[in-house]
Amino acid sequence: MTGNRIEIICKNNHERINAPVGITLRELALLLKIELKSDILAAYVNNKLTALDTALYRNRTVEFVDVCSASGQRVYLRSMTMLIYKALHDCFPNHVLEVEHAISNGYLMSIRKGDSSLTAKQLATLNAHIAELIQADLTYNRHFEPRKEVIQHFAEIGNENTAELLRNQKTYYTDYYDLDGLPDFYQGTLVPSTGYLKLYALEPYIDGFLLRIPSVKDPNVLPEAIPAQKVYATFQEHLRWSHILGLHHVSDIDKIDDKQMSLLVKVTEALHEQKIARIADEIVKRGNVRVILIAGPSSSGKTTFSKRLSIQLGASGIIPRVLALDDYFVNRENTPLDENGEHDFESLYALDLEFFHQQLGDLIAGKEIQPPTYNFETGKREFKRPKYSLKPSEVLVIEGIHGLNPELTATIPPENKFLIYASALTTLTINNHTRIPTTDTRLLRRIIRDMKYRAYPAEKTILRWPSVRRGEEKWIFPFQENADAIFNSALITETFALKSQAETALNEVPQDSDAYPEASRLLRLLQYFKPIPDHIIPLNSLIREFVGGSDFHY
């Protein structure tokens, strides 16, 4: 910084310039002539996501983002949510908006007055008013005030779930937004004005409404809504259960005492066990199941689920025999490459499908096989394990990301296999308008597991995560509706249990790392959760797969 000039390093174009003190990020983008695939929505300033109306007074590193990034998607979603809230408040002030979860390439919302949802005519009115507010280009006004005053303000206007949330913060000041005089609280930055929200769709979806926003791949189109009735039903089942207990938001759990928390943990664990037992019963009733396939995205708890399912099957006289997909990798030199020229170990074709089909068919036919073992150090297949055959009382349990892909078990008749999809479908929310992404739950699990068992720092896990997510989008999610049963591995108390270990790992990420923005975002999320003591988590809990201390061997 020199005189009335400051130095700006722009990561988008790798340019270093001197700019006037007090220049806003929006003015800086114009000065630098930054062009992204779509409108600039916000910027990272020293790796912290910042609103475009922010003025700069010191030397800074800046990176602008649009909707074609994960952070830009979150900015757009938050801004659209507040816009819908404002339009609903204007048109139907007695209706309540709740943002529930991501599904079907969109975001599920509930818009209700008591037990009644918006009619088709009312939805048309709402959409027309949203268009008017976009055309008016109203400003999202950010306020930064003493937390106690903000709490009182939200309590006075009847927004008690936000007031309760802020009571659990420890900061002196907090921020919130208003749109044309209507206040609301969001966990993060919004766009400067409603005119930025040029593309969206809000339409009926089963019992609710689906909000679709521009695609990450192409900001000029909306991603196509895809069928997800089974996943939706699983979400709604858990949502109804949590609402029966009066657990809608994080603050509902934060305010319960240790004794109640211990009971709640036991109840949520019992719900898991009940669901696993029901799946085992379904398998037994089929009578002719020889292969059980368990699939799901990273850190969805597949391993612990398969172990607990095996116990339930054993109680019914069915003995599981595990066949590990990882042992059927092709030799490393034959592994397919991704678009970056790296080995794509998450591709279906990283497996030797012909050999796998041969051994699978032999086992089902009662023949003896010698299973392989894949040596990850040499990248070669080895044969050191004893031969075996599948007895009439045994079933094969195959766990892996490709379990629901029809090509994996194309040689097995449908009546002889049972497909299970496991994922952590979080139903708890921050407040009515702020969801907790299910991917955040899995990422926190993976950060802790990698730190404890693989000596990977959180920085490395976070940097690897986008590649993991791309693999899931390509190889897992398109097949989730093929499942005969869906197991929701999320526990309503788990983020409270993950908090302490996750914060320790995330606080080690340096601010100049490319992983810092994500680490910082996750730390802001965790501030709303109070930690629960480790000793109240049962030793067979699925969460023990990540935090340690499990009865199971991994």
Q: What is the reported pLDDT for 2?
A: 64
Write out 371-388 in H/E/C secondary structure: CCEEECCCCEEECCCCCE
Q: What are phi and psi of 90, to 5 degrees?
A: -75, -45
pLDDT value of residue 1: 59
In angstroms, rounded to a whole number, what is the distance separating the alpha carbons of residues 110 and 205?
Answer: 10
Measured CA to CA, the distance from residue 480 to residue 402 in angstroms comes to 10
Catalogue all structural domains in the chain, each as residue range(s) with its CATH number.
5-66 (3.10.20.30), 71-226 (3.30.980.10), 231-547 (3.40.50.300)
Is there a contact between 417 and 364 (Cβ–Cβ < 8 Å)?
Answer: no
Using DSSP's 3-state secondary structure scheme, residue 182 falls into: strand
Confidence at residue 235, expressed as pLDDT on a 0 to 100 scale: 93
Residue 351 and residue 402 in contact, taking contact as beta carbons nearer than 8 Å: yes
Q: pLDDT (tens digit, 0 to 9) for every residue of the chain, 554 residues total?
A: 567 899 999 999 999 999 999 999 999 999 999 999 999 999 999 999 999 999 999 999 999 999 999 999 999 999 999 999 999 999 999 999 999 999 999 999 999 998 899 999 999 999 999 999 999 999 999 999 999 999 999 999 989 889 988 988 888 999 999 999 999 999 899 999 999 999 999 999 999 999 999 999 999 999 999 889 999 999 999 999 998 888 999 999 998 999 999 999 999 999 999 999 999 999 999 989 999 999 999 999 999 999 999 999 999 999 999 888 889 999 999 999 888 788 888 899 999 999 999 999 999 999 999 999 999 889 999 999 999 999 988 999 999 889 999 999 998 999 999 999 999 999 999 999 999 999 999 999 999 999 999 889 999 999 999 989 998 999 999 999 999 999 999 999 999 999 999 999 999 999 999 999 999 999 999 999 999 999 999 999 999 999 999 999 88
Q: How far apart are CA 65 and CA 12, in angstroms?
A: 9
Structure-token match 């709303």, residue found: 528
Question: Which residue type occupies 207?
Answer: D
Quote the pTM value. 0.93
Enter the DSSP assignment of 349. Answer: G
Give the up-direction half-sphere exposure of residue 248: CA atoms within 13 A in the CB hemisphere. 13
Q: How far, in Å, are 315, 346, 549 from residue 445 at the CA level?
A: 30, 19, 14
Tell me phi and psi for residue 378, to 5 degrees.
-90, -20
CA separation for the pair 127, 487 (Å, rounded): 36
DSSP annotation of 224 reads: P
Strands 373-375 and 380-382: antiparallel
Provide the 10 A C-beta neighbour count for residue 31. 14
DSSP classification of residue 187: S
The Cα 308–Cα 144 span in angstroms is: 49
H/E stretch holding 136: helix 120-136
C-alpha span between 28 and 13 (Å, rounded): 13
Tracing tokens 């030797």 back to the chain, one arrives at 352
Report the pLDDT value the prediction gives residue 126, as an integer from 0 to 100. 98
C-beta of residue 174 within 8 angstroms of C-beta of residue 145: yes
Q: How far apart are alpha carbons 496 and 500 in whole angstroms?
A: 8
**DSSP letters of 457-514?**
-HHHHHHHHHHHHHHHHHHTGGGGGG-SEEEE---TTHHHHHHHHHHHHHTTS-TTST
**What pLDDT is stored for residue 168 in this prediction?**
81
Burial of 288: CB neighbours in 10 Å, binned 0-12, 13-18, 19+: exposed
In degrees rounded to 5, what are phi and psi of residue 299?
A: 60, 35
Assign 453 to helix, strand or coil.
helix
